[in-house]
Structure 1
């Protein structure tokens, strides 16, 4: 029998590699590989958070010198990030799946307003929570059906829903603020379990569930496949239309949860609540490493993105700086994040490591 390594077209077997060299190569190559990109990006976001804290220490040393104030401020930042963080989890799934959802803020508003009507409040805590979640999921399903079966571009479908849902919320509330009289709902924002605010616990549970769903289930693998290459996913047997509908329903579910959280914080709901949440959620997902073209993203990275924006908001608040300057800074961060996606670390190392041709 002829040795396979001697056949034409078959490469000869590579010589054995020293064990010490082999042990070091995978670690070096992994750090520069695509698989390490989320780790590098998350470490970069942690670095941004550290820089923001240092800026706070320099600008307001009298505040950061008080350990009690620092602890309270950390919890304040996390509580402010809780509702938008929950919305961002749903948005991250949609973007990874190749879509976009501009209606999340409006869905939060209509879910919050509908759940705080006098008729709904008469059914108690369970009725309010059930209504908010069902309204969010139903509106998300409508988005998904319009996109999957109506063949509308996600941008157009969700933009139309953003306008329609805001109008519906204004119609239901009569353009008035609806006060929540349910003490159980209102107490969510002030309740602590083992010293941890309930809003932060809800955010942690949603993030944990989102991480498991994306990284440890068939649904998550299908989401990445659909966002990466729709035709390949279809040929692999994935029902792309149904999966897209489910992604928008998931986004609506997160909006329903966020509606209850915001209602608790304000003890009321109105048609203008969660204004511009869609932009904050998209921006947080992007700077967390989620590709706008779909097919890649992480829940943990999106959470770091939310924390960066919440910390910036808090930093501007304690320094009495205007919202306009804050928005300009946020815009610059978004642009920088997109540029990082275009010129990634690996591409730069390849560029500077390229040897000139003779």
Structure 2
């Protein structure tokens, strides 16, 4: 009897795994058809597809880090503020005197430091992730405003700006960096012991501890990864905007969490994928691109965006019940 159960469970699990991203692929296909019908001269062009990928770049990198945190059973509300603080620190006069390398180094170090603080408070301080990262969000945004005196800081290093404006085979370097982060995140999550431990910690912390996993250290590293992704995204956004600003990354935390959840990752942890999260990002950015091309007013954009998210979630729920 046990043998029969095991034999029948595997195909069901495999089928569910194969079909879990189908609703998102269908949603993207529907959006593409809709865009082609609405704007046949502009939407289906190669240049517009590159624009969508460029729009997805910064939030996509942040979403990779958010995916790790949420699969591990946490949440990070501070990602947007960390991006702002990283961009401000990278564009001060003192930092820019070290050139593009010094600016990139500063942004990444600030991101790592913020992630480390979050991780220490949550993993070793025993504090609730929601409260810790909410406090970090406020503190990081306030520190960014204090350093910049609420003024945008212009990037003067021409090499740093090339990340946004230089293209290889017609595609901005930003997109290549985005793809590199996605591939690295996928490999770590799916092909390493660290990735397997992330699913274990998010699924059942006590069972993971009893299995010999250092749950606190692993949780700390998850928030460090999130901070690293914020630092990289800050470099990308600063290069594209040509400024460092305390307003950078506003509401990125909500977009990243929404993309992760739309992508099939459970907010309770223990289940999810990088591929699903990136598909979620692409759904959002395609919707945004359609709104821009259609010149829709902001209230209408928000209503349509919320409705589409609800429909995708309902399709996903139905798909889970039937697989």
The verdict on a shared fold, with TM-score over 0.5 as the criterion, is: yes
Q: Could you tell me how far 1:146 is from its partner in structure 2?
A: 0.8
Find the counterpart in structure 2 of residue 315 from structure 1.
290
TM-score, normalising length from structure 2? Answer: 0.94
CA distance, structure 1, for counterparts of residue 291 and residue 204 of structure 2: 41
In the alignment, structure 1 residue 347 sits paired with structure 2 residue 310: no
Q: Which of the residues 171, 174, 192 maps onto 1:196?
A: 171
Q: Which of the residues 58, 61, 64 maps onto 2:40?
A: 61
Q: Which of the residues 240, 243, 247 maps onto 2:222?
A: 247
Q: Which of the residues 113, 125, 148 maps onto 2:123?
A: 148
CA distance, structure 2, for counterparts of residue 12 and residue 77 of structure 1: 50
**Cα pair distance change 1:336/1:233, threshold 3 Å:** farther
Which SS does the other structure have where 2:21 is aligned?
helix
**Cα pair distance change 1:312/1:224, threshold 3 Å:** same
- 1:205-244, aligned counterparts within 5 Å? 205-244=180-219
Which SS does the other structure have where 1:63 is aligned?
coil
Q: What's the CA shift string for 1:6-65, capped at 9, x where partnerless? A: xxxxx6998xxxxxxxxxx98x973xx23433432322211111111111122223435x
Find the counterpart in structure 1 of residue 140 from structure 2.
165
**Cα pair distance change 1:346/1:335, threshold 3 Å:** closer
CA distance, structure 1, for counterparts of residue 184 and residue 41 of structure 2: 39
Q: What's the CA shift string for 1:127-165, capped at 9, x where partnerless? A: 111100000000001001111111111110000100000
CA distance, structure 2, for counterparts of residue 35 and residue 103 of structure 1: 36
Find the counterpart in structure 1 of residue 47 from structure 2.
72
CA distance, structure 2, for counterparts of residue 56 and residue 245 of structure 1: 42
CA distance, structure 2, for counterparts of residue 105 and residue 99 of structure 1: 16
8 Å contact kept, 1:136–1:256: yes
**Cα pair distance change 1:82/1:38, threshold 3 Å:** farther
**Cα pair distance change 1:154/1:332, threshold 3 Å:** farther
CA distance, structure 1, for counterparts of residue 315 and residue 130 of structure 2: 23
Find the counterpart in structure 2 of residue 19 from structure 1.
none
- 1:36-55, aligned counterparts within 5 Å? 36-55=15-34
8 Å contact kept, 1:85–1:306: yes
**Cα pair distance change 1:237/1:84, threshold 3 Å:** same
CA distance, structure 2, for counterparts of residue 84 and residue 38 of structure 1: 25
- Aligned pair count reads 321
CA distance, structure 2, for counterparts of residue 245 and residue 178 of structure 1: 32
CA distance, structure 1, for counterparts of residue 247 and residue 24 of structure 2: 31
CA distance, structure 2, for counterparts of residue 271 and residue 13 of structure 1: 60
Which SS does the other structure have where 1:254 is aligned?
helix
CA distance, structure 2, for counterparts of residue 112 and residue 282 of structure 1: 21
Larger RCO of the pair (alpha carbons < 8 Å, separation 6+)? 2
Q: Which of the residues 21, 30, 34 maps onto 2:13?
A: 34
8 Å contact kept, 1:38–1:298: no
Q: Which moved more, 1:51-60 or 1:214-223?
A: 51-60
Unaligned runs of 5+ in 1: 1-10, 15-24, 350-358
